Amino acid sequence: MTINKFQIIRKIAVINILRPIAIKFYSLTSKSNHQPYEDTVFPQLDVTKELKEIKENGYSIGIGLSEDILQEVLTFCEENEACIDRDRNDRIKISMTDDTQPSKGTVYSYTNTYKNCEAVRKIAHDPKVLEIAKKYLGCEPKFIGSQIWWSYPHLDESGKQTKTPLYGYHYDIDDLKFLKVFFYLNDVDEDRGPHVIIGNTHKKKNYFEIRNRRLADDVAQEKYGNQIKVIKGKAGEGFFEDTFCYHKGTHPNKRRLLLQFEFAINDFGHQNDDN
């Protein structure tokens, strides 16, 4: 069996003594040709404040889409079919107005969001977003993907909501260090699967955390109760998150539409939705 660079990096990422050394090495040697556009689509965004909060807590809430950009992304979703449970060969048009769940599937994701949606490209190349990513990662960030997906309740054959790891706590190891930006594309209250973060779990991992990349809700509550942050928001509202933090999308009772961007030091090609 051959072990590739991605597998090695995933192992190093959870070793607290090695991780900073490896981050330094790769941030000095890796190059990015992902250039910022001249104009920002986030004139209100306070780079210093966001960066400070991400460093301290692992997330910051305070970025938001303009109405124009939001509408452009929603039009993209209206005009394109989505993959059923990530299967590129099985697609469906999702109504933007009718909440009714399609007869098959739980998660419906679009493809080619960066290639085919100009609003997505404007965010991916936004100078303020890239400045935050650069200062957080400590190098010129690589844009490793954008994604848009619907989350619906996970139903069993009788139509009853049933448990699924899709909506459980976990942390990502997409690289040695990485940063995501999320935007809600519909209003998200406690019924619509709010994103939940266990703050301040992004810096290092203890033995328990290394052994448990996934966590049950009761364990998360017991161990990290006062660090748990449930993020609700209106359509267009967003947040930065280092998803090396434990996090989850809550199992929704009603559908939720989310837009996500990811920046990292290395791009292993796993996070884009190119088709």
For residue 153, give the nearest of 215, 229, 102 by alpha carbon.
102
Q: How far is the CB of 137 from ligand AKG (least distance, A)?
A: 17
Residue closer to ligand AKG (CB basis): 53 or 262:
262
Nearer to ligand AKG, 15 or 230 (CB): 230
Sheet holding 142-151, edge to edge: 59-64, 237-241, 178-184, 256-264, 142-151, 107-109, 82-84, 87-92
List 181's β-bridge partners, or say none: 240, 261
Q: Which of 176, 165, 246 is nearest to 209 (CA)?
A: 246
- Applying CB under 6 A, which residues contact ligand AKG? 151, 172, 180, 195, 243, 247-249, 258, 260
Shortest CB 246 distance to ligand AKG, Å: 10
Residue 145 Rama label (left phi>0; alpha psi -120 to 50; beta): left
Q: Which residue is nearest to ligand AKG (CB)?
A: 249
**Nearest to ligand AKG of 40, 133 (CB atom):** 133
Nearer of residues 40 and 124 to ligand AKG, judged by Cβ: 124
| First-to-final CA distance of the chain | 29
Distances (CA, A) of 27 to 33, 59, 132, 138: 14, 21, 15, 6
* Shortest separation between residue 187's beta carbon and ligand AKG, angstroms: 15
In angstroms, what is the minimal distance from the CB of 243 to ligand AKG?
5
Which amino acid, 253? Answer: N
Q: Residue 164 CB, nearest distance to ligand AKG (Å)? A: 12
Q: Give the nearest distance from C-beta 167 to ligand AKG in angstroms.
A: 8
Longest dimension (CA), the chain: 54
Report the residue number, 19 or 251, with the smaller CB distance to ligand AKG.
251
The smaller minimum CB distance to ligand AKG, of residues 32 and 147, is found at 147
**Strands 142-151, 256-264: pairing kind:** antiparallel
